[in-house]
Amino acid sequence: MRVLVKLSGEALSGEGRKGFDPERVSYLTSEIKKVVEEGYRVGIVVGAGNLFRGIELRGLSRERADQIGLLGTVMNAVYLKDHFEREGLKTKIFSQIVNLPDVESVSYDSIESAIENGFVLIFAGGTSNPFFTTDTAAVLRAKEMKAQIIVKATKVDGIYDKDPKRFSDARKIERLTFSEAMKMRIEVMDAEAFALCKKLGITVRVINFFEPGSLLRALKGENIGSIVLP
Ligand code: UDP
């Protein structure tokens, strides 16, 4: 089974923090390793909220700020590759936006051969275009690697009708469609990503990635978190 895991940049730094937290990254590495050892083929799309988010960079045009954000995803990918390889996970980074010794350009053949040869794939550089997010990139890359599912790694155990941290009556929604998610303005992914999932027939499971073993349990079919269906 093939899975695309969407990691936000903050998975590498901690919520609301910048940079890298090596302890978080080793946790993340061990969670990915557990599923690789069970035979799952894993692709990762990583964000850059721990470094730069275009929208947060003041005084620059959005196009420029987003290019800086895109480069942040490459920095995260290189950082992750180093950690993964130290833990014995063979890893390849794919991206269209840079030419670096550790980064290969995206081609369907090389993606397929990397998957078949047991590599973890890290897709950096988002969609390659300003004005998008790495959630949308996750959907595109999931389709390209023929993943059966996207697992969106969050810090909450699924989708709620309102922010469970702010509202004590927030209700968890275990199962919904992308159309329902868009109608309810669920913010776990942006509208472009939801629309693309619907169009391409891709399922997303939203889990609390910081509960140890949750990724593996989700892939084994346990009904944890929330599932969004085309
Ligand atoms: N970005 C972009 N195009 C993309 C993906 C990302 O311009 O296709 C830029 C954008 O500035 C964004 C930043 O890269 O804010 C980091 O991505 P994202 O906000 O999705 O990261 P996350 O919130 O997942 O850490």
pLDDT tens track for 190-209: 999 999 999 999 999 999 99
Mean pLDDT for the chain overall: 96
Architecture of 2-229 per CATH? Answer: 3-Layer(aba) Sandwich (3.40)
**For the chain, percent of residues with pLDDT exceeding 70:** 100
Q: 169 with 200: CB under 8 angstroms?
A: no
Q: Check if 8 has its Cβ closer than 6 Å to any atom of ligand 1.
A: yes
Taken in order 72, 12, 50, 207, is the CA torsion positive or negative?
Answer: positive
- Stretch 34-57: mean pLDDT: 97
91 has binding-site annotation = no
Task: Place 165 in a pLDDT band, splitting at 50, 70 and 90.
Answer: confident
**Largest interatomic CA distance in the chain:** 51
Q: Where are the domains of the chain?
A: 2-229
Residues 95-105: pLDDT tens digits?
Answer: 999 999 999 99
Residues 6+ apart with CB under 8 A from 99: 105
In this predicted structure, the answer to whether residue 22 has a pLDDT above a threshold of 90 is yes
CA dihedral 25, 150, 221, 156 (to 10 degrees): 60
Residues 109-158: pLDDT tens digits?
Answer: 999 999 999 999 999 999 999 999 999 999 999 999 999 999 999 999 99
pLDDT of residue 164: 87
- Stretch 16-24: mean pLDDT: 96
Q: Check if 53 has its Cβ closer than 6 Å to any atom of ligand 1.
A: yes
Residues 6+ apart with CB under 8 A from 225: 157, 158, 159, 205, 206, 207, 208, 214, 218
- Stretch 32-61: mean pLDDT: 96
Kindly give the number of the ligand 1 atom that is closest to the alpha carbon of 66: 11
Kindly give the number of the ligand 1 atom that is closest to the alpha carbon of 70: 14
pLDDT of residue 70: 98
Q: Check if 129 has its Cβ closer than 6 Å to any atom of ligand 1.
A: yes
In this predicted structure, the answer to whether residue 221 has a pLDDT above a threshold of 90 is yes
Q: Check if 125 has its Cβ closer than 6 Å to any atom of ligand 1.
A: no
Whole-angstrom CA distances from 134 to 59, 118, 128, 141, 186 are: 22, 24, 10, 10, 17
127 has binding-site annotation = yes
